[in-house]
Structures are given as C-alpha cells and as structure tokens.
C-alpha cells in the first residue's frame, strides 16, 4: 500500500449495498406517492372540470415531490366534499322501504 494506508476490505462492500438500497429507499416511495396521486385524482374527476383535472395531472407530473404532497395534503379534501355521495339519505330510504 502506498503511504502505509490500511484499507478495510468490508467498507467497499458496505457502500455497494448502501447504493443498491438507494432506489428502494428513495425512488420507490416517490414512485408510489406519484402513482397514488394520479389514482386519487382519477377517482375524483367527477368533481372537477376538465381543465382542473388536466392541471392537477400536470402539476403532479412536473412537480414530482411537491405536486403529490400538495394534492394529498391540501386539495384532495376539497374534491371529496364535492363528490361525496349522500350515504345517510340513501340508507334512510332503504330502511324505510324495508319497514313497509
């Protein structure tokens, strides 16, 4: 060894394993967040205009980390309130018809 340096033969293997895990620890969660946001937008498209839907798809696609986070933390609830079915009215009507 030049200069009398000692090299740990295990250290390079550790870094190889660490760099092999980077896609699993970073890229996979980002991909799941991205796909989840696209599916969530698609499920709420009845509550949006075409331009809003297109805008959300574009925002999520181009702002890969911020877009899905903004969708899930701020915007999704707004469209849930608009597109939520009225379950109590439907269940009460069903209950009344079963009583008769």
Cβ(75)–Cβ(41) below 8 Å: no
Place of tokens 């796909």: 35
Cβ(47)–Cβ(79) below 8 Å: yes
Cβ(81)–Cβ(74) below 8 Å: no
Task: Report how far residue 23's alpha carbon sits from residue 87's, in angstroms, rounded to the nearest whole number.
Answer: 42
Q: What pLDDT score does 26 carry?
A: 87
Q: What pLDDT score does 78 carry?
A: 83
Q: What pLDDT score does 52 carry?
A: 93
**Phi, psi dihedral angles at 44 (to 5 degrees):** -105, 15
Q: How many CA atoms lie within 13 A of 84 on its CB side?
A: 11
**pTM, rounded to two decimals:** 0.63
Q: Each residue of 13-63: pLDDT tens digit?
A: 788 888 888 888 888 999 999 999 999 999 998 889 989 999 999 999 999
């Amino acid at each position: 060894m030049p200069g009398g340096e000692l090299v740990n033969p295990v250290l390079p293997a550790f870094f190889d394993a660490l760099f092999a895990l980077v896609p699993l620890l970073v890229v996979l969660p980002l991909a799941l967040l991205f796909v989840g946001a696209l599916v969530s937008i698609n499920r709420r498209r009845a509550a949006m205009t075409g331009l809003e839907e297109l805008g959300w798809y574009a925002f999520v696609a181009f702002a890969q980390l911020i877009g899905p986070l903004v969708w899930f933390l701020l915007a999704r609830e707004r469209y849930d309130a608009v597109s939520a079915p009225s379950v109590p009215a439907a269940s009460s009507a069903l209950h009344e018809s079963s009583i008769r």
